[in-house]
Amino acid sequence: MTTAGAGRVRALVALRVAEVVAAQRALVPLVLFVVAVLVLVVNDPSPAPGPWPVTVPVLYAACTWASLAATRAGEDRTVATAAVGGPARWVLAAAGAALLLEVPAVVVGALLPALLQPAGYAPAVVGEALVAHLTAALAGTAVGLACSRPVVDRPGWAAAVAGVVVIVTATVPWLPPVGTTVGALDAADGSAVDPLDPVVAVVLLAAATVGWWAVARRRA
C-alpha cells in the first residue's frame, strides 16, 4: 500500500471510530465490561490473579459483541468502501477502529485490579495480565468480524454463532488463544500465560479479516 493509501485507511479508521461513538450501540458491551471490573475489584481486592480469570473471558465476549456492532454502525459501507479504494482497505480500517475502541477496556481490565489492591501486584504479573487481556481483545475482534455482515447476514444468527464460539473457545482450557490464557491465569500453580497466545490471536484476526474480505468483495 502506498503512503497516500495508508493515509486514507487511517482517515477511515477515524471515520469508523467517530461513527461508532456517535451511534453508541457498540460501546454498550465495553461500558458493561468496565462496570463488571469495578464490581469485581471493589468487592474483592484480592492478590494476583485477582479477578483476571473472570475479566479475560468477559472481555473476550465484550470485544466480540463490540466488533459485531461496530461493523454495522453508522454510515453505509459502500460509500466508504468506494472512497477508501475497496473492501480490503475497509475491513482493515474496521478492524483497526474496533481495536482502538477496545484499548481502554484492555487497560482497565488489566490495571484496575492492580491499582486498587493495597499491596500492589508485581510488574511482571501486571504485564502478563495486559498480554492476556490484549489476547482476549484480538480474539474477540476476530470472532466479531467473522460473524458480521455480509459473512453472516442476519443479526440473530450472527449473535447466536458468535455466542456459541465465544463460550466454547473461552471454556476449553487447552484451546488457544483464550482458553489456554484463561486456564493459565486460573491455574493454582501460577502458570505463566503462553507468549504464543497473542500471536495465535493476531493470526486469527488476520484470517478473519481475509475471510471477511473474500466474502464482502462479492456481496456488497
Partner 1 sequence: MRLRRVRHRYRGTGWVLDGIDLRAEPGRPVVVTGTNGSGKSTLLRIAAGVLTPSAGTVVGRPAVTGYLPTPFPTTRLTTRRLLGHLDAVHGLPRGCALAVLEALGFDDDADAPVAGLSAGTRTKVGLAQALAVRDGLVVLDEPWTALDDRAAAGLTALLAEPAARVVVLADHSGRGSALPGAVVHRVERGRLLPGVVRPGRTRIEVSCGGPAGAVSAGLPGAATERCEGDVLVVTVEAPRADRWLAAALAAGCSVVDVTRLPGGSG
Residue type (1 letter), 214: A
- Which range in 12-20, 34-42, 103-111, 193-201 contacts partner 1 by CB under 8 A? 12-20
**Which positions ≥6 away from 86 have C-beta within 8 Å?**
217
113, three cell numbers: 485490579
Cβ–Cβ under 8 Å, residues 151 and 211: yes
Instruction: Restricting to residues 61-90, name those near partner 1 by CB under 8 A.
Output: 74-76, 78-87
- Which range in 34-42, 46-54, 194-202, 212-220 contacts partner 1 by CB under 8 A? 212-220
Neighbours of 74 (CB within 10 A): 18
Distance CA 48, CA 177 (A): 21
- Which range in 19-27, 48-56, 141-149, 186-194 contacts partner 1 by CB under 8 A? 19-27
Distance CA 152, CA 136 (A): 22
Instruction: Restricting to residues 20-49, name those near partner 1 by CB under 8 A.
Output: 22-24
Question: Could you tell me which of 79, 76, 84, 67 has the C-alpha nearest to residue 28?
Answer: 67
Q: State in angstroms the smallest separation of the CB of 22 from partner 1.
A: 4
Distance CA 180, CA 186 (A): 10
Report how many residues bind partner 1 under the rule CB under 8 A. 29
Considering only 1, 14, 103, 115, the residue that binds partner 1 (CB under 8 A) is 14
154 vs 218 by CB, closer to partner 1: 218
Q: State in angstroms the smallest separation of the CB of 215 from partner 1.
A: 10
Q: Which residues bind partner 1 (CB under 8 A)?
A: 4, 7-8, 11-12, 14-15, 18-19, 22-24, 74-76, 78-87, 217-220
